[in-house]
Structure 1
Amino acid sequence: MGEDLEKVLATESQISARLSEMAAEIDADYAGKDLLLVGVLKGAVMVMADLARALHHPCEMDWMAVSSYGAGTTSSGVVRILKDLEIDIKDRNVLIVEDVIDSGLTLSWLVGNLRSRGPESVEICTIVRKPLAFDVDLDVRYVGFDMPNEFIVGYGLDYAEKYRNLPFIGTLAAHVYQG
């Protein structure tokens, strides 16, 4: 994969250290409360697994799959639920776990959808937030890294379903997605 990547933005050890810090914040914030982690498939698989293992607080996990992307690199603006939750979230403390917040539009829609189901709370945790996410009224409680508006892959982030398995986050060389 060497020629497909330009540079590493967050190493495996930096990601692990930041997730440990975030887990400590989450443990403190949810002390004495139930916690349901809701991972957004497919990208959040790595983040969700490592975050859950770093938590000392008991939690449940469920998954959703939503899509607003076509085959390209930008959002289509139309959100579809591909897989819904199996757990009823009424009166639950929900923590949405994301891999990346690009524009924030899909996540804003998802937060509204989940809040309509009557949870006690809905908060957001992401490993990566990009600058365009600041344009949307979206309170992201836990952020791993703020990264530039570049096409990034690794640690769950993909391009055409590839590169998710990289243990770090890096930029994809333009020839891969422009070519």
Structure 2
Amino acid sequence: MDIEHITDDLDLEKTLFSEDEIRNRLGELAKRIESDYDGEDLLLVGVLKGAVMVMADLARTLDRHVEMDWMAISSYGSGTTSSGVVRILKDLDADITGRHVLVVEDIIDTGLTLSWLISNLRSRGPASVEICTLLRKPDAQKMSVDVRYVGFDIANEFVVGYGLDYAEKYRNLRSIGTLAPHVYS
């Protein structure tokens, strides 16, 4: 869905990144990933539901074979900020022992959930665990997380589109925009 289809509702304040900008940045990240993992088997681990778009487009941009697996974890409930309490809703199907794992995220804000996830994955004996995220909110971070691949740093605003949602809406927007406060306040 194009962002223009919902602007009449006044739900979005502005567009941050267009579909083309996202695609171009994922292409740049893919080139770095290919170089860094040259000659290595790579397992992409997407964090559901938000990372679906990012992981699908990143995987299609890579000029190499990769395996993919998914986890679903929750720390949000129905709110707009992280609770810090993490639950695994869907675990990996693959054994990651001795494997190079690249966690693919849509957004990192507080870092609390991702820090917990990385610790959990490292306890399973992989060869390496790194992070690729499309968006990062440096001003929102409460826990430092070492992120190897960052698409864009953004302000601490509530964003939707390209996998990011509010109350399960807006995920299928092709671009990313800021959600108007009247929608979630």
TM bucket normalised to smaller? over 0.9
- What is the rounded CA distance, in whole Å, between the counterparts of 1:132 and 1:141 in structure 2? 18
1:118 aligns with 2:130: no
Shift of 1:137: 2.5
- What is the rounded CA distance, in whole Å, between the counterparts of 1:8 and 1:131 in structure 2? 19
What SS does structure 2 have at the residue aligned with 1:75? coil
Match of 2:134 in 1: 127
What SS does structure 2 have at the residue aligned with 1:9? strand
Q: Is the 8 Å Cα contact of residues 52 and 163 (structure 2) preserved in structure 1?
A: yes
Match of 1:10 in 2: 17
- What is the rounded CA distance, in whole Å, between the counterparts of 1:68 and 1:104 in structure 2? 11
Q: Which amino acid aligns with 2:21?
A: Q
Shift of 1:38: 0.1
Q: Is the 8 Å Cα contact of residues 140 and 156 (structure 2) preserved in structure 1?
A: no
Shift of 1:133: 5.5
Q: What count of residue pairs does the alignment treat as equivalent?
A: 178
Q: Is the 8 Å Cα contact of residues 112 and 142 (structure 2) preserved in structure 1?
A: no
1:137 aligns with 2:144: yes
Structure 1 residues 86-120: Cα deviation after superposition (integer angstroms, max 9, x where no partner): 00000000000000001010000000000000000
What SS does structure 2 have at the residue aligned with 1:69? coil
Shift of 1:135: 4.3
- What is the rounded CA distance, in whole Å, between the counterparts of 1:42 and 1:135 in structure 2? 22
- What is the rounded CA distance, in whole Å, between the counterparts of 1:132 and 1:71 in structure 2? 22
- What is the rounded CA distance, in whole Å, between the counterparts of 1:103 and 1:11 in structure 2? 24
User: Which residue of 63, 73, 84 corresponds with 1:77?
Assistant: 84
Q: Which runs of 5+ in 1 are unaligned?
A: none
Match of 2:3 in 1: none
Match of 2:50 in 1: 43
- What is the rounded CA distance, in whole Å, between the counterparts of 2:119 and 2:32 in structure 1? 24
Identity among equivalent positions (%) equals 71
1:152 aligns with 2:155: no
Structure 1 residues 8-31: Cα deviation after superposition (integer angstroms, max 9, x where no partner): 011110000000000000000000
Structure ranking higher in strand proportion: 1
Match of 2:71 in 1: 64
Q: Which amino acid aligns with 2:100?
A: N
Q: TM-score, normalised by structure 2?
A: 0.94
Q: TM-score, normalised by structure 1?
A: 0.97
Shift of 1:136: 2.0
Q: Which runs of 5+ in 2 are unaligned?
A: 1-5
Q: Aligned-residue CA RMSD in angstroms?
A: 0.9
